[in-house]
Amino acid sequence: MSEGYSSVRRVIWIVLDSVGIGAMPDAASYGDEGSNTLGNIAARRPLQLPFMAQLGLGNIAPIAGIPAAANPSGAFGKCTLASPGKDTTTGHWEMAGIILDKPFPLFPHGFPLEITEAFERQTGRKCLGNKAASGTEIIQELGGEHLRTGSPIVYTSADSVFQVAAHEDVIPLPELYQMCEKARAILSGPNEVGRVIARLFTGSDGHFTRTPNRKDFAVPPPAGMLLDQLAERKISVQAIGKIADIFLSRGISCSSKTKDNCDGMRQTAEAMQRQKDGLIFTNLVDFDQQFGHRNDVEGYAAALEAVDAWLPSLEIAEGDMLILTADHGCDPTTPSTDHSREYTPLLVHGPSVRPGINLGTRATLADIGQTVAEIFGARLPAGTSFLQDVAKG
């Protein structure tokens, strides 16, 4: 391992996907004024999050039922998303040191004809939909027609995404993935969406369910981001969940997909048994995919409590640093089912971390990546490390 901050040898970085902690100052320009994923859920349904509360979650911002800890066991703060936008790619890229000058393009009224016609021409299949929609709702709406015609369902959302949904018995996985690769090549220049996503489902008309065989085809991140630099220094990086898709597996030593949060938690714990140094980088997707986008307050709250109950079981050892954060918000209490422009919580914990340190409002999510970079002897083009603020000794 390359020289870095020697008392930290392993970072366990967990992204609680979409767990925002209050609207950013520019939220109104995104239609998100008043959004507060954690705060609004807690106001609707009492949350039991004793572990994160003790780390300092309630010290970051007022959350009903989660008081500020008198003696927090972790360092705490919140991060600003400096890039324009509020999507998965933007948030994760910024964590890795990439701050965007302009947002990825959005298509709230569907994709232009030159895109859909090129897609149909190259795939040999007509497409259905071509509108912004909820993924679960559009397969119920158009799934029957898809079964009859074999036409894939194309849709987008408030994210910069081109999504292609198909029944696994109608369009086999390899073919759907090839179709998405063709879409990825078509969507360039001003139409370069952040991700093309293959969405698979099974079942019969009126009873369709999505499968875990989702695959993301992301835009290649610029060179020199965190994972590139860790690879140059031969730092082991294990990616769990959709991390590998977001970064096109760049700089990642090994990766694994997850079915849900429970699977992500299990795989994180198993990775900690195998890998005793380097970076374990996990995305827990259910908050966003299963509950935020479906305005399921109870499901979101229960998922938060499940993760909080699991965290104490992690064997945080000497030389470990645990980082908990998010990539954006997705407030299930608002009429919108889209992501929300929110600050993200920041909790840092471990034997080498000074407890009770208030890290304040960070100017960018890249501060997290810069901190990890400093631990392993690297430096990113963006972000201010907080390592010296939290490091013991």
Q: Express each pLDDT in 318-357 by its tens digit.
A: 999 999 999 999 999 999 988 999 999 999 999 999 999 9
Q: Of all helices (H) and strands (E), which one includes residue 94?
A: helix 88-95
The count of other CB atoms within 10 Å of the CB of residue 136 is: 18
Q: Which domains does the chain have, with CATH numbers?
A: 10-102+219-390 (3.40.720.10), 113-217 (3.30.70.1250)
Question: In the numeric block, which tokens belong to residue 304?
Answer: 């938060």
CA dihedral in degrees (42, 43, 46, 50; nearest 10)? 40
- pTM (two decimals): 0.91
Q: pLDDT 10s digit of each residue in the chain, 393 long?
A: 345 666 999 999 999 999 999 999 999 999 999 999 999 999 999 999 999 999 999 999 999 999 999 999 999 999 999 999 999 999 999 999 999 999 999 999 999 999 999 999 999 999 999 999 988 899 999 999 999 999 999 999 878 999 999 999 999 999 999 999 999 999 999 999 999 999 999 999 989 999 989 899 989 999 999 999 999 999 999 999 999 999 999 999 999 999 999 999 999 999 999 999 999 999 999 999 899 999 999 999 999 999 999 999 999 999 999 999 999 999 999 999 889 999 999 999 999 999 999 999 999 999 999 999 999 999 999 999 999 999 987
What SS3 string covers 285-334? CHHHHHHHCCCCHHHHHHHHHHHHHHHHHCCCCCCEEEEEECCCECCCCC
Say what the pLDDT of residue 136 is.
Answer: 87
